[in-house]
Amino acid sequence: MSDSLFAAFQRAGITGLEAFTDAEAALARITKIYDKGVTILRDAFARFTRGELPGGPVDAFYPFLGIELGREQLNLDARLAYGALHDPGVYGSTLTRPALFGEYYWHQI
């Protein structure tokens, strides 16, 4: 992922970006971010149920996956995907539940 692509995502407010060329390593990072966010939210909710009000926003995030796809990388056979990219460009999305969707994410990455 190029520095200019990182800059584009950062302008959109996305932080903590890291480039991967290995699907297994990317999935491990996705899982770590998701699990950390769930822990933060559960702890904040537990404090709230005890009557403790938060002193500000709770910083928990969904993992973000961004890709830059060139024309030569297009695969228009979408039979095995829930979604397919039909045009070259820059794409990104947040991801949820890697324990549930991890194998799918791994194949798509």
Tens-digit pLDDT profile for residues 46-72: 999 999 998 899 999 999 999 888 888
The sign of the dihedral angle between the CA atoms of 67, 68, 73, 74 is positive
- Please, what's the largest Cα pairwise distance for the chain? 56
pTM value?
0.83
Distance CA 8, CA 13 (A): 9
Asked whether the predicted pLDDT for residue 20 surpasses 90, the reply is yes
For residue 63, give both structure tokens.
């993992």
CB contact at 8 A, 54 and 48: yes
Please state, rounded to an integer, the average pLDDT across all residues of the chain. 89
Asked whether the predicted pLDDT for residue 5 surpasses 90, the reply is no
Distance CA 37, CA 5 (A): 25
Angle at 25 between CA 20 and CA 31, to 5 degrees: 110
% of the chain surpassing 90 pLDDT: 59
Residue whose C-alpha is closest to residue 60's, from 39, 91, 45: 39
Asked whether the predicted pLDDT for residue 3 surpasses 90, the reply is no
